[in-house]
Amino acid sequence: MNILNGCMVVTIPSDLSGDAIPQMQKSLLGKIDETKVFGLVFDFSSLKVIDSYEYLELSNLIKMTNVLGTEAIVVGINPGLVNALLDLSVDTDHLNTFLNLEDGLSYLLSKTDQIEAEEAEEIEVIKNLEEEYEELEDAKI
């Protein structure tokens, strides 16, 4: 797991057998809580095959991260994996996907810029309200 500008990148291993997903879940959720990242990129590029159970577990993990307030996106899904997901008839509507890591990070970082701009606006509004309040208080005296 690497962190870049408030975004964590998690590479999904090619072998999801055994307890790989539960271990990843425990580690990842703890790391999100510890680091307070706002964006999470699940990189599926090393994953060649997936079964319905593995997909369900990964899908639930993505939903869990969203509940923690971290926007999760998926990158690197190859055509074979897309076919497998369609063959399994699994729900992919909640996935926010991008072709590659660069596109995914660009999306998340643009959202960061937007959030920072909105926060700056809110701070300016608060300052203006505080000034108006002080003027009203001074006028009372």
Tokens of 115: 């959030």
pLDDT at 137: 80
pLDDT at 126: 86
What's the pTM? Answer: 0.75
What does the pLDDT look like over 32-87, one tens digit per residue?
A: 989 888 899 999 999 888 888 888 899 999 999 989 889 999 999 999 888 888 88
Please tell me whether residue 17 adopts helix, strand or coil conformation.
coil
- Is CATH 3.30.450.20 correct for 2-140? no
How many of the other CB atoms lie within 10 Å of CB of 115? 12
Pick from 99, 60, 53: which is nearest to 77 by CA?
A: 99
DSSP calls for 77-88: --HHHHHHHHHH
Tokens of 66: 């969203």
How is the chain split into domains, by residue range? 2-140
